Amino acid sequence: MTTDSNDYRHALEHISFTDNAKQHMANSIAQSVASSDAATAQSNFNGTRRKPRIARHPVRTVARIAAVTAVLAIVIGGAGTAMATGVLPLPSDMLSDIFDGPASQTEIIDRIGRPVGASCSNNGVTVTADAIMGDKDMVTIAYTLTFDDPAALKKLSEPGENGTIAGSVDGNVYVDGEHGGQGQSWLIDKNPNDSSIQYFAQFSVESPGLMGRTVRTHINSLVVPRAGKELPEYKKILTGPWDLKFQLNYEDTSVTIPAPKSVNFNGTKATIQEATVSCVGVSVRYNIDRSIEHDNNSGKMSQNMEESMDAVGNIPLIVTFKDGHVEDATSHSGYFANKLDNGTTDVHKTWPFSQVCDTDKIASVQIGDTVIPMNS
């Protein structure tokens, strides 16, 4: 695989990253494209919106940024054997671990989530897609990796706080028909005494309407960080491949936010194209009279470029719940940015909530300088 700074800059016009990922992505691009192994390295961009329970890794689906973010082209098939499992767990049994909030949210997860049961076995490991939950723009998928030989788990680090494992999967989760996506993943060990670990992928896509579409999961290997490296480097400890596909059939609880036609963002008009909120997150599409500036060919992100990205994507987006809980997606969320010929930029900004809550519990949503009350 080869790429250059022009490919990199073009890709950035269609997708963006959390603040913690931006500079690492730019610094890593030259190193990552040097070999296919480097393409499996997943840059770690820990956010601030949840307890430090889980190490997050990016899950991306933009072709030319694949070298940085471990996004690979999907080829369904391979040596793995796909099957459907028998007894399916409740969605809350598999998904509750990555959400904060009261125990009552398990009822919501079971109502809007769905079990999956797609499974693939290869090289002594079975990968199972257990459950899904999401809305029209984003989805969370829970997987279990079960080892025939429990001794293989000794190659992993000891689970940290709340089961955190210092490692990840080298692979991709892809929605048919999508050319771009952004998100994060987690690898944890819920029960150190059994022979399985859990993998979670949470991501959004550029075009709306996830319901009924096919998700394809391709996992090449399980990787862990190499010790003593300043920048994350990963080594393979288990090789697949494992390939799964299934349909997204959860309950979409998205409701329209009664947003005005436009809001202000640091003195610039942002025209709201669509704004929705659901039990699991918030999504806003807008056009802003600004563009991302590209001012060098080095592949590194200059201060001017970073500031122009922030000026496009860091519009205030704050959801306040009636119990006082706040989800602030202003500067921590991912977004898609598409620079137009007229000098403006279409932006799609999404934010998965840290806890699951019915939409009638939301008091207000702030977009730009405008606070919008939500009628229950």
pLDDT, average across residues 183-194: 88
pLDDT tens digits along 237-265: 889 999 999 999 999 999 999 999 999 99
Identify the burial level of 331 via C-beta atoms within 10 angstroms of its C-beta, where 0-12 means exposed, 13-18 middle and 19 or more buried.
Answer: middle
Each domain of the chain, given as residue ranges in start order, spans: 50-57+73-247, 255-373
Q: Which CATH number fits domain 50-57+73-247: 3.40.50.970, 3.30.470.20, 2.40.50.140, 2.60.40.1630?
A: 2.60.40.1630
Query: For residue 355, what are its two tokens?
Result: 């806890």
pLDDT value of residue 228? 64
pLDDT tens digits along 111-145: 999 999 999 999 999 999 999 999 999 999 999 99
Question: Among the ranges 40-49, 156-165, 261-270, 326-335, which has the highest mean pLDDT value?
Answer: 261-270
- Is residue 191 within 8 Å of residue 136, measured between CB atoms? no
Mean residue pLDDT across the chain? 76
pLDDT, average across residues 33-37: 31
DSSP 3-state assignment of 10? helix
Mean pLDDT check: name the lowest of 18-27, 193-202, 317-326, 342-351.
Answer: 18-27
Domain 255-373 in CATH 2.60.40: yes
pLDDT value of residue 232? 65
pLDDT value of residue 357? 93
Share of the chain above pLDDT 70, in %: 73
pLDDT, average across residues 43-59: 32
pLDDT value of residue 64? 22
User: Is the bond into 241 cis (omega within 30 degrees of 0)?
Assistant: yes
Q: Using pLDDT thresholds of 50, 70 and 90, give the confidence band for residue 229.
A: low
Beta strands in the chain (DSSP E): 57-58, 81-84, 114-122, 125-134, 138-147, 168-175, 181-188, 196-205, 214-225, 234-247, 255-256, 262-265, 268-277, 281-288, 317-321, 326-328, 335-339, 345-352, 362-367, 370-373
The overall pTM is greater than 0.85: no
pLDDT tens digits along 277-335: 999 999 999 999 988 777 666 556 677 777 888 888 899 999 999 999 999 999 877 88
pLDDT value of residue 300? 65
